[in-house]
């Protein structure tokens, strides 16, 4: 096993400073937006699901969603294809095809098959994109602490293999549900990690463990890797503290917008205050 802790980026500092989380304490916390700041101050470094008070009950067919997505219709997009759970394809041999947003959306509605249409993951929204309240992170921090958000749109079966981004993340689930499997950064040395784009993305550290092939939770349990797994869905925002490894499976056709905290403006885990 590659036990190396790559000294690139902020991850090595996070690794040094993160509290050790025991399996019995590794669970997802649920709270309201108001309770969130209080939860975060406890510095447990645990992920939190924030239940929105909007109760928007949206689907890909809702008129608000259709109207919102229309603004992207003419955009050219790169859609991920291939073996989604394969870490090598994710990190090093990523395959994409070019499409137009409107065409992809139409295909997604007609044909919910990952091998036919692929996954529009991490589509960066431009500065002039309009964002409705149900796509925003909880109104607790100044909007300018966040980087431009990304949109994730895809059918069931879309998988993002195990990796960490080194940034605090608010993943706003708008339509559909995803299963998240999380591993705290203390297990960095056990996860055969590499940095696929050292010049472009120093904070993207990917694991070569193919959780899909190895049997997911069973593999984690067998190897005594602390972990938690849960499903996150509409009107919920996952707060994922910087450093957590995540493996994400789309369970039903899904639309999500995620907001990374810009570390040039706020230290990763400002929320839990890594000095
Ligand atoms: O939803 C996904 O497929 C992956 C999301 C992700 O990796 C992230 O929000 O950092």
The 10s digit of each residue's pLDDT in 248-261 is 999 999 999 999 99
- 152 touches ligand 1 (CB under 6 Å): yes
Calculate how far, in angstroms, residue 48's C-alpha sits from the geometric centre of ligand 1. Answer: 15
Which is nearest to 255 in space by CA: 1, 26, 49, 69? 69
- Kindly state the tokens that stand for 215: 């049997």
pLDDT at residue 274, as a whole number:
42
Calculate how far, in angstroms, residue 258's C-alpha sits from the geometric centre of ligand 1. Answer: 8
Q: How many helices (H) and strands (E) does the chain have?
A: 8, 15
- 239 touches ligand 1 (CB under 6 Å): no
Calculate how far, in angstroms, residue 256's C-alpha sits from the geometric centre of ligand 1. Answer: 9
Angle at 239 between CA 234 and CA 241, to 5 degrees: 155
Q: Is the pLDDT of residue 268 over 80?
A: no
Q: Once rounded to an integer, what is the mean pLDDT over residues 198-213?
A: 90
Using the atom order of ligand 1, give the atom closest to the CA of residue 119.
3
Q: Is the pLDDT of residue 86 over 80?
A: yes
pTM comes to 0.95
Mean pLDDT of the chain: 91
Buried-state track 241-258, b at ≥16 Cβ within 10 A, e below 16: bbbbbbbbbbeebbbbbb
Question: Residue 74 — pLDDT band, cuts 50, 70, 90?
Answer: very high
- 243 touches ligand 1 (CB under 6 Å): no
Residues linked to residue 120 through DSSP beta bridges, in sequence order: 153
Q: What are the CB-based long-range contacts (under 8 Å, 24+) for 70-77?
A: 71/129, 71/130, 72/101, 72/102, 72/129, 72/151, 73/100, 73/101, 73/102, 74/100, 74/101, 74/102, 75/100, 75/101, 76/100, 76/101, 77/101, 77/104, 77/120, 77/123
Inter-residue contact 5 to 188 (CB < 8 Å): yes
At 221-231, the pLDDT tens digits run 999 999 999 99
Q: Is the pLDDT of residue 269 over 80?
A: no
- 167 touches ligand 1 (CB under 6 Å): no
> Of residues 219 and 267, which shows the higher confidence score?
219
At 15-40, the pLDDT tens digits run 888 889 999 999 999 999 989 988 88
pLDDT at residue 67, as a whole number:
97
pLDDT at residue 239, as a whole number:
95
pLDDT at residue 6, as a whole number:
77
Using the atom order of ligand 1, give the atom closest to the CA of residue 249.
3
- Kindly state the tokens that stand for 177: 């549900």
In the chain, DSSP assigns E strands to 29-31, 48-51, 76-81, 95-100, 120-124, 150-154, 159-164, 169-175, 178-183, 193-194, 205-207, 228-232, 236-240, 245-250, 254-260
pLDDT at residue 258, as a whole number:
98
Q: Is the pLDDT of residue 1 over 90?
A: no
- 206 touches ligand 1 (CB under 6 Å): no
- 121 touches ligand 1 (CB under 6 Å): yes
At 125-184, the pLDDT tens digits run 999 999 999 999 988 888 888 999 999 999 999 999 999 998 999 999 999 999 999 999
Q: Name the CATH superfamily, with its identifier, for domain 11-260.
A: Cupin (2.60.120.650)
Inter-residue contact 196 to 252 (CB < 8 Å): no
- Kindly state the tokens that stand for 99: 């499409």
Q: Once rounded to an integer, what is the mean pLDDT over residues 208-228?
A: 94
- 212 touches ligand 1 (CB under 6 Å): no
Q: Is the pLDDT of residue 188 over 50?
A: yes
């Amino acid at each position: 096993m590659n036990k190396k802790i790559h000294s690139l980026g902020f991850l090595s500092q996070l690794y040094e400073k993160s509290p050790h989380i025991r399996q019995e304490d590794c669970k997802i916390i649920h709270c309201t937006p108001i309770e969130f700041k209080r939860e975060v101050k406890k510095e447990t470094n645990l992920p939190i699901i924030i239940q929105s008070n909007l109760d928007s009950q949206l689907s890909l067919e809702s008129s608000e969603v259709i109207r919102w997505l229309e603004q992207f219709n003419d955009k050219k997009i790169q859609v991920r294809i291939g073996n989604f759970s394969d870490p090598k394809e994710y990190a090093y041999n990523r395959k994409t095809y070019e499409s137009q947003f409107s065409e992809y959306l139409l295909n997604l509605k007609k044909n919910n098959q990952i091998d036919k249409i692929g996954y529009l993951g991490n589509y960066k929204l431009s500065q002039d994109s309009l964002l409705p309240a149900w796509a925003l992170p909880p109104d607790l921090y100044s909007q300018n602490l966040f980087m431009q958000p990304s949109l994730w749109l895809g059918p069931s079966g879309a998988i993002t293999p195990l990796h960490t981004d080194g940034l605090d993340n608010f993943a706003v689930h708008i339509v559909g549900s995803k299963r998240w499997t999380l591993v705290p950064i203390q297990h960095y040395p056990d996860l055969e990690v590499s940095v696929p784009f050292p010049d472009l993305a120093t904070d993207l550290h990917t694991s070569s463990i193919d959780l899909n092939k190895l049997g997911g939770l069973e593999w984690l349990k067998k190897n005594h890797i602390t972990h938690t797994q849960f499903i996150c869905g509409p009107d919920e925002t996952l707060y994922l503290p910087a450093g957590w490894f995540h493996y994400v499976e789309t369970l039903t056709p899904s639309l999500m917008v995620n907001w990374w905290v810009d570390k040039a403006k706020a230290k990763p885990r400002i929320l839990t205050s890594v000095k």
